[in-house]
Amino acid sequence: EIVLTQSPGTLSLSPGERATLSCRASQSVSSSSLAWYQQKPGQAPRLLIYGASSRATGIPDRFSGSGSGTDFTLTISRLEPEDFAVYYCQQYGSSPPYTFGQGTKLEIK
């Protein structure tokens, strides 16, 4: 099973700043099969990025993903107030189980 470790656990930034979230895998994620989700309190997760760098339908272009192998990054270029949430990475490259990272909480500074 591939273990995903996200860092930092909590990121405190102000609106307008750039956010960089990291996701490291315990072994190489095949075919860059890495997704990112956003979850706000009391809501279901929302798919942001799949294939490490492809934005899901309707996701603003301030969200971007990069990386391959074992190191992946989610970047939010200019934080909007609605971006403060918990972010999860997920790998789906190998056959199940599909695994998630433990999450990064992005909070307002």
Partner 1 sequence: EVQLVESGGGLVQPGRSLRLSCAASGFTFDDYAMHWVRQAPGKGLEWVSGISWNSGSIGYADSVKGRFTISRDNAKNSLDLQMNSLRAEDTALYYCAKDMSFAVTTGVFNYWGQGTLVTVSS
Smallest distance from partner 1 to CB 20, Å: 20
Q: Look-up: residue for tokens 């971007």? A: 64
Q: How far is the CB of 24 from partner 1 (least distance, A)?
A: 16
User: Residue 31 has what DSSP assignment?
Assistant: G
Which of helix, strand or coil describes residue 95? coil
Q: Which DSSP category does 97 fall into? A: P
Closest alpha carbon to 65 in 7, 22, 108: 22
Task: By CB under 8 A, tell whether 47 contacts partner 1.
Answer: yes
What is the nearest approach in angstroms of partner 1 to the Cβ of residue 15?
A: 26
Whether the Cβ atoms of residue 72 and residue 20 lie closer than 8 Å to each other: no
For partner 1, which stretch binds (CB under 8 A), given 17-25, 60-68, 72-80, 100-108?
100-108
Q: Is 20 in the site for partner 1 (CB under 8 A)?
A: no
User: Helices in 33-106 by DSSP H: which ranges?
Assistant: none
Binding site for partner 1 (CB under 8 A): 1, 33, 35, 37, 39, 44-47, 50, 56-57, 88, 90, 92, 95-103
